Each structure stands twice: as C-alpha cells, then as structure tokens.
Amino acid sequence: MDKRIEKYFYEELSPEERLSLLHDVEANEELKRQFAEYQNMYALLNLGHQMENREVGKDKFDQFISAKQRGVSLKLWVRRLSYAAVVAVLVVSSSILTYLYMQNSLQQNLLSNTMNTLYTPAGQRAQLVLQDGTEVWLNAKSRLVYPAQFVGKERRVTVEGEAFFNVAKNPSKPFIVSTQDIDMKVLGTQFNVYCYPDAGYIQTSLLEGTVKVFFPDKEKEGIILKPDQQVTVSEGKMIVSQISLEERFLWREGIYAFENEPLIDILKKMELYYDVRIIVKDASLFNDTYTGKFRQRDSLDDVFRVLQQIRKFKVEKDKDRNIITLSK
C-alpha cells in the first residue's frame, strides 16, 4: 500500500502532499482501491476519534493488523471522521485556502463515492456506529449499504433483512432508509425495519420519535408513525397498527420473543438464528400458535422441547445436510 495513504489519515502530510495524493488517487484505479480500503478500515476502527492522541490511534491500527494476520475475528464499529483540526491549522493564507478547497472537494468526492456493505450471515448479528453517530444493529442474514461519509443534504442507507436504528439527530440533514419497496425518513428516532426479500411484506416499527414511511417518489402520500405504532406494507398497501410486543426487538441482544405466533413464523426465525433448514412434513402442526421466548445461545433441542409442550412432534436431524424435519 502507498505509504502516503496511511500518512494522509494520520494527518502527517503537508497540504501540497495531501493534494498530490488525492489527484493521484483520482487518476489511478489501484490507488483508489487502496485508498477506499484504508478509508473503510479507518472508519471501522474508529480511528477518527483517536486523532487527539496519535499514538492511541496508531496502536489501535497496529493491533488490528496483527489480529487480522492471526485470523482473529473482530467486532467492528464505524464512527465519525474528523478533519476540523487540520482545517483550523492550515487556514493561514489565501494560497493555502485554495489548497484546502481543492483538497476537500477531492476528498468529499472520494468519500461520497465510497460505499461500505456490511452483511451478517445466518446465525450472526452485528452492531456498528455510522459516521454521523447513528447506531445500527443488523439481524441474521441482513445487509446494510452505507457511505463512508455522509455528504450532501441527506443521510441515506439501504437495508435488506432486519435492522434496528437509533438515529443521531440532525434537523438539517434527514436520515433516509431505503428498502426494496419503501423509504423511511427520520430526523432522530429509534425504529426497527423488517424487510427480508422472501417475507412478502415490509414492517417498520417505531419506538421513539417520528418516522415517515412512503413509496419512492411519493413522499407526500406517506404515513407518519407515532411511538408504539408500526406500518406493514404488502401488495402496495400500508396498514398501521399498534406494537403488541416490544420484546420482539430484543433480537439485538440475541433474544427472540413471540406472542400468539404461528409455528411457521417461529421456524423461519430459527432457520435464520441457527443457520439450518427446517422441513415440516405435517401441515397440521401449523395450526397452533405459541407465546414465549428463547435466547440464540439456547440449543435447538432446548427450543424444540419448549415448543413440544404445546404439541408433541418428532424431530429428525440430518447433520450432513444441515436439515431438521418435523413430523407427528
């Protein structure tokens, strides 16, 4: 990797060197790839907040590289990238102001075009903090696409699967979540989005603040939710209802709670949480509803034992194919 890139993020380049690097990055695809890779790593490791203590930031980066070489899996966070201190130091003459303008324009162009994708496979969850301070939790088999830095008049991300957002307040820059069918617009709030492609519906549940849910290009016709309300979108229609069980959002802590829920819905969640395929041979098993909760750390056998207290059924395991079959 070009050594200038690391020095760029640790603010060890002169204004002329920074501008020269940004020009080179714009003109060289390999250098652009390296810059984006380091930019993502810089953000994910929260190095932007370590700039007050340069040694702390470098130690953190070195620890990451060492762990990565050993194959250690790390929990990742994303936080704000700050260049205000550099700007304050560099604004000392009109000639340097020109450098700053060109440098920041190139820098913002690079960052705005750098999109990160976080994917959580079945059986896993993830938590991260975006550049603006917004907290995001991703459930199993979910995907979040977000920019390395929010530029422009809005903060826009795309989600597929299930995600919980605690949005940082910024009245002048609304936060927009896009799914395959609808958009959600907020200023600062807590809400859950359920939008798995094969679910047949999208559900937005609001816990705090306000959120506007609308179809793309039809924002004026959208629905504004109040706390403890949720909207279910299916076949082009929106239906608003009250949230019946707030414990349902404890999936962030690895807890799955359900109330009067059909077995088929519970099994779908179990497939996500335990990364297995579950086949039901007897459709009559779907007639029962269940209320309860289980932790992701509970074994499948433990969960099935609880469900069997409502109705007895047989459980057959095919470990080679990772398939579980339920029958009478």
Most confident among 22-26, 111-115, 156-160 (mean pLDDT): 156-160
Q: Enter the tokens of residue 80.
A: 């704000």
Average pLDDT, stretch 239-259? 88
Give yes or no for residue 40 having a pLDDT over 70: no
In the chain, where the domains are located: 3-74+82-112, 115-243, 250-327
Q: Which residues contact 34 (CB under 8 A, 6 or more apart)?
A: 1, 2, 5
Average pLDDT over residues 308-326: 89
Residue with more model confidence, 307 or 22: 307
Backbone angles phi and psi of 125, in degrees to 5: -135, 160
What's the pLDDT at 278?
A: 94
Q: Examine the pLDDT at 279 and tell me if it is beyond 70.
A: yes
Q: Would you state the pLDDT for residue 63?
A: 54
Residue 168 gets which letter from DSSP?
P
pTM tops 0.75: no
- Looking at CATH, the fold of the domain delimited by 115-243 is given as Jelly Rolls (2.60.120)
> Please, what is the average pLDDT of the chain?
78
CATH no. of 250-327: 3.55.50.30
- pLDDT tops 90 at residue 272: no
Q: Calculate mean pLDDT across residues 268-285.
A: 89
Q: Looking at per-residue confidence, does 111 or 125 come out higher?
A: 125
> 211 is written with which tokens?
């959120």
Helix/strand/coil for 8: helix
What is the share, in percent, of the chain residues with pLDDT greater than 70?
76
C-alpha span between 273 and 174 (Å, rounded): 32
What is the rounded average pLDDT of the residues 82-104?
36
* pLDDT single digits (tens) 48-81: 444 445 555 555 555 555 544 444 433 333 332 3
Q: Does the pLDDT value for residue 212 go beyond 90?
A: yes
Cα separation, 299 vs 317, whole angstroms: 13
Query: How do 126-129 and 135-138 pair as beta strands?
Result: antiparallel
Tell me what the mean pLDDT of segment 173-197 comes to. Answer: 93
pLDDT at 127: 86
